[in-house]
Amino acid sequence: MSDPCILCVAITGSVPTKAANPAVPISVAEQLESTHEAFEAGAAICHAHVRNPDETPSSDPEKFAQLKEGLEKHCPGMIIQFSTGGRSGAGRERGGMLPLRPDMASLSVGSNNFPTRVYENPPDLVQWLAREMRTHEVTPEIEAFDLSHILHAIRLHEAGTLYGKLYVQFVMGVKNAMPADKQVFDFYVEIMKSRAPDALWCAAGIGPAQIKVNEWAIAAGGHTRAGLEDNVRLDRQTLAPSNAALIRRAAALCEKYARPVATPSQARQMLGLRPV
């Protein structure tokens, strides 16, 4: 039997709106309902941003606290991962929810271009976020938009800057950043195997690349992410009806490649997180 595959559901993000797809959960109540359905479909990790009532991104720790409390109640054991991404706030606001001690938080360790702007992650902010995560025992998930981010994360891990086990996510298909390129993906996997053999890796594709990258990651023995944050469609003509529908698609690929879908407790063990 091959290793279980950890599925992460990226429920909301900071970009997609209900105009793009009415299924994008915006309020905490909608987020809880949408996550619960994805949890039942096999998602072990919930990657979450929070929003204001007008759908603009928020970094309000109070909203994150409400979401965490609801997830603990309605999705018992699910791994809670908050975003410290740069579209939800500026500077240290991005880590304002870390004292809530989610299991994990996303961490970008380098800068790159996004569709309409520079995604800025200056070294002093990266160091501060990593230090806050250590203080509050939050395991980072490194968001790698480029090869240099993977190598830098490995260096930071070796230097003891990052809390817990090294977990790197390859993000592919963001316009103006690394495209979903299979040759590059294969090289990323090689680099992880040779330079950080004890680490785990996962991969996410944006837009139409979601299903493609899901399949590459599952076939190559890694873990993967799906959800409306990254992609609002099942195909060119069809909106995804829910986050769960995108997780079901990834779970079907796990079956195709004989990878069991990791339960939350298996995922916690594999990632070295505290049990619940």
DSSP strand pairing (50-51 vs 167-172): unpaired
Residues that bind Zn ion (CB under 5 A): 83
CB closer to Zn ion, 4 vs 230: 230
For the CB of residue 82, give the shortest distance to Zn ion in the complex, in Å.
9
Q: Which two tokens stand for residue 264?
A: 């939350």
**Beta bridge partners of residue 143, listed in sequence order:** 169
- Cβ-proximal residue to Zn ion, closest one: 83
For the CB of residue 237, give the shortest distance to Zn ion in the complex, in Å.
26
For the CB of residue 114, give the shortest distance to Zn ion in the complex, in Å.
12
Q: State how far the Cα of 264 lies from the Cα of 14, in Å rounded to an integer.
A: 25
For the CB of residue 230, give the shortest distance to Zn ion in the complex, in Å.
8
Q: Which two tokens stand for residue 61?
A: 């720790």
Q: State how far the Cα of 251 lies from the Cα of 145, in Å rounded to an integer.
A: 24
CB 218 within 8 A of CB 224: yes
CB closer to Zn ion, 32 vs 50: 50
CB closer to Zn ion, 34 vs 83: 83
Tokens 């929003």 found at: 51
CB closer to Zn ion, 4 vs 16: 16
Alpha helical stretches, state H, 201-242: 209-219
